Structure 1
Amino acid sequence: MATHHMFQHQAFWKVVAALLVVCILVQQFGFSESPWPQHVASEFSGDTPKHKPPPSWRWHFDFRRDHNNYGLSDEQCDEAFPELYHEIDRAARQWRGRNITSESLELYGKNEAGVRVMLVDQQLRVLSTKGMHRQDFRQRILAVLHQIQRAITSVSGGVYPFDDMEFTIVVDDFVTLSPERNLALWSFARETANARQSDIWLIPDFNFWSAPPVAGSFSDMQARARAQDSPIADKIQKLLWRGVKWTAPKLRGALIDATAGRPWADVAAMDWRDPGKVVRLEDHCQYAYLVNTEGRSWSSRLLYILNCDSVPILHDMRWTAHYYHLLNGHDAEKANYVPVDREFSDLEAKISDLLDDPSHAQAIADNARQLFRERYTTPAATACYWRRLLRQWSSVAFTPEEYEEVAIDAHGGKRMRGVALEEFL
């Protein structure tokens, strides 16, 4: 009898326990078909997880969030930088229908430094180099290769892979073209009045990666420039320039002469033996007005000027880089620099106007900062440019031979051309 009651009690408590479990499950899950518990669902807004955008959300470039995002999709690149690709499209039109061959990529003898590269199976391989014995050229070659590698490897999943391709990059200040044949070379700059240089494909220069020891990494430089931000009225009310005279003695000499003894100018040829004449790049941003001068060809100084929040002063330029088409000196509302002639004969009048109208000067500085530092010269923009360049180039260029014949033994053999980037670096 005692045993019978014991089993009755056990059965009763089993029923109670089962009912409790059912109540808990009903409370937790309700009658929803979803397997997710309610405490998880409470982290969502409606049926949409917080970490996912609502259906109506559209991505827009945000400088603070996206400036160092190297892996934007093609659609995001187009949304963020719609006017970036002018030089790529121009070069592609220039070469469409023409025959780019392996000989078109020859590093012509008068070019002092460069690198020939193959992209195969999404991997970079270095085929040949020139000028690596010089530290400055070596640094430029490595900086460009790093840029390309980052652009390729940073893209998110689902992006269509790059076609196999081969290309040659000249890293000297300008390209010397062969008089015998047309060369399809990549370079930092081209001379706009030289019709033959229309064949050149423009790339972001080495400064977009790093320029040690003066500038360091590009991202660090941008951060140091931002730390100097202040209204134009609070900056030093002078025009600043530092540089060597020998790279363009007539042009730079004219600037020095035009500003000699002027109270609104702090202009001097660089002399490393005189510390008083040296101004760090980020300290340029403390000045209200910054003037750019071309050198042997384009001047990388302009990139740093545009990353300050000062007023850029630019003379008529004979060279162009991959982003120069965005410069605007003549639209009253969208002007992002102040134009002067190459002899600087109108410089004093232009500076006087700016000093008399600080609100106008501020508007130009704001336009320059917003367009260049906060958008078109960001590392994100540079990565987008490289990916677009690679795709456009491969649309008009040949498919390279991956292997070369070598005399391994009496039977011959094949090996991959060049060395892997990882081995080269």
Structure 2
Amino acid sequence: MVMPILQSPLLWQALSAVLLLCILVQQFSLQPFPIRAKQISSALEHGDEQTIGKDTGAWSYDWARDHDNLNLNVEQCDAAFPELYDEVDRAVQYWGESGRKITSESIELVGGNDGGVRGLIAGQQLRIIQTRGLGRKDFRHRIIAVLQQIQTALNAAQSAGQPLPDVEFTVVVDDKPVVGEKPRALWGFTRAFANPRHDNVWVIPDFHFFGAPPEAEGWSLQQSKSREHDGPLDQKIAKVAWRGVAWTNPEVREPLLNVTEGKPWADVVQMSWDKKDSVIPMASFCKYRYVVNTEGRSWSARMTHLLNCDSLLMVHDVEWIAHYYHLLDTDTNCVRVERDFSDLEEKIKYYNEHLDEAQKIADTAKATFRERYTTPAATACYWRRLLRSWATVAFKPKTTEMTKVKNRLSSTEKLRGIAFEQFIVHDNTKDYPYK
């Protein structure tokens, strides 16, 4: 007699195997990137080496040719920057989970966010719906720089024949986004890893990736100026260099000032714009053998600039994450130091005595960041991936609205907001909608 299929031992063994596989996938695939607050290197020290890039058929990334190419297509972006999009993928996974929806209310500029812009892409045109903080010069610079990056991404997508979907979004341009108690799907330059509410945040390239007036120029030119100081570590100034102010994060910055005071291996100075000798151009940091990053009010864009150098970067444990921080790999492309810098002198002494190791780390950092993942090409690709990914989990925006015709009883349909081109030439010292 033939045994019924549901009683077959082979069937039940197969079903058990499938069930076990599903449990394992659920257990491990939903884990966030294992970077811990105050422990940037914990996962990286035991993880696989990062893939710097891969080929795609007849085309492969060449940094000398492609680093400023803003018009790479999707396939080229994926091949050139395969490890770039962790923060985008994390946000998609978080918002794609059951019960989480991005609505028009989810992107409102709530209280506490004093600088920001609500934008709309409609038919491949960037439009401005609302701004906050244009009266502040620094916020105005940041808003314009972010919008320029998005416009660049739009132009690149059209040039590649791969248009972007209609989306509506809100960018917070202050140092740290305020998300509130209700879930808010805001875009920001950083997120606090240890704050579960910040899982809502979509991390974008900060304004420096376009330009940072008045002290810095366009990003591509900044990278070019840094290359002018390229050279072996044994020919650089044998000191660690830092400039900044302590008040933005005294917990981190005061210990650095204390442990380096009077040390012959340190050129660490608290900066004052009134004292010219306390200020040095960003590219001049590249003259030094060692450079050190310190967090400020939140993340610090300092690290992005320091990675333009071919110096050895010292990184303390971080609490705030930028869009590329998952690529930092201790003793592969940076050197981890304690948050209180208690081991900084020890690390300087060690690498002075092991310059071959230091040179290898510095060379890897240059290849990973300045020549690939922080290039203008990479930034343009990141923006396009983010915009497309956002569209998969966000609401479909309303692109038009009805407005009354002046001196008539009728109404007419028009696009919402103001075109980016019109906004950018306006006297942007007052917020939009203009009153």
Same-fold call, TM cutoff 0.5: yes
Runs of 4+ in 1 over 4 A off after TM superposition: none
Q: Secondary structure at the match of 1:117?
A: strand
The code of the aligned residue for 1:418 comes to G
Once residues 223 and 144 of structure 1 are traced to their aligned partners in structure 2, the CA distance between those partners, rounded to angstroms, is: 21
- What's the CA shift string for 1:105-149, capped at 9, x where partnerless? 100111010000000101110000000011111110111111111
1:209 is displaced (CA, Å) by 0.3
Q: Which residue of 2 aligns with 1:125?
A: 127
Once residues 250 and 103 of structure 1 are traced to their aligned partners in structure 2, the CA distance between those partners, rounded to angstroms, is: 36
2:398 pairs with one of 384, 401, 407? 401
Q: Which residue of 2 aligns with 1:25?
A: none
Q: Secondary structure at the match of 1:364?
A: helix
The code of the aligned residue for 1:325 comes to H
Once residues 210 and 67 of structure 1 are traced to their aligned partners in structure 2, the CA distance between those partners, rounded to angstroms, is: 16
1:157 is displaced (CA, Å) by 5.0
404-413 vs 392-401, greater mean Cα deviation: 404-413
Q: Which residue of 1 aligns with 2:77?
A: 77
Q: Secondary structure at the match of 1:257?
A: helix
Contact 1:120–1:402 (Cα < 8 Å) also in 2: yes
Tell whether 2:354 aligns with 1:357.
Answer: yes
Once residues 413 and 82 of structure 2 are traced to their aligned partners in structure 1, the CA distance between those partners, rounded to angstroms, is: 44
1:276 is displaced (CA, Å) by 1.7
Once residues 347 and 70 of structure 1 are traced to their aligned partners in structure 2, the CA distance between those partners, rounded to angstroms, is: 39
2:139 pairs with one of 125, 137, 140? 137
Once residues 283 and 111 of structure 1 are traced to their aligned partners in structure 2, the CA distance between those partners, rounded to angstroms, is: 34
Contact 1:70–1:155 (Cα < 8 Å) also in 2: no
- What's the CA shift string for 1:164-198, capped at 9, x where partnerless? 1100000000101122x110000000000001101
Contact 2:73–2:162 (Cα < 8 Å) also in 1: no
| Aligned length, in residue pairs | 365
Once residues 120 and 57 of structure 2 are traced to their aligned partners in structure 1, the CA distance between those partners, rounded to angstroms, is: 40
Correspondences of 1:263-342 after superposition (within 5 Å): 263-330=264-331, 335-342=332-339
RMSD: 1.3
Q: Secondary structure at the match of 1:401?
A: coil
Once residues 160 and 356 of structure 1 are traced to their aligned partners in structure 2, the CA distance between those partners, rounded to angstroms, is: 52
Q: Which residue of 2 aligns with 1:12?
A: none
1:214 is displaced (CA, Å) by 1.3
Tell whether 2:389 aligns with 1:388.
Answer: no
Contact 2:209–2:376 (Cα < 8 Å) also in 1: yes
Once residues 213 and 73 of structure 1 are traced to their aligned partners in structure 2, the CA distance between those partners, rounded to angstroms, is: 33
1:272 is displaced (CA, Å) by 1.9
Contact 1:188–1:321 (Cα < 8 Å) also in 2: yes
Q: Secondary structure at the match of 1:155?
A: helix
1:108 pairs with one of 110, 126, 138? 110
Once residues 237 and 156 of structure 1 are traced to their aligned partners in structure 2, the CA distance between those partners, rounded to angstroms, is: 48
Contact 2:154–2:163 (Cα < 8 Å) also in 1: no
Contact 1:73–1:156 (Cα < 8 Å) also in 2: no
Q: Secondary structure at the match of 1:72?
A: coil
1:250 is displaced (CA, Å) by 2.0
Bigger Rg, which one: 1
Q: Which residue of 2 aligns with 1:38?
A: none
Once residues 414 and 399 of structure 2 are traced to their aligned partners in structure 1, the CA distance between those partners, rounded to angstroms, is: 8
1:343 pairs with one of 317, 331, 340? 340
CA shift in 2, pair 1:359/1:158, >3 Å: closer
Q: Which residue of 2 aligns with 1:417?
A: 416
- What's the CA shift string for 1:279-304, capped at 9, x where partnerless? 11111000000000000000000001
Q: Which residue of 2 aligns with 1:247?
A: 248
Contact 2:107–2:185 (Cα < 8 Å) also in 1: yes
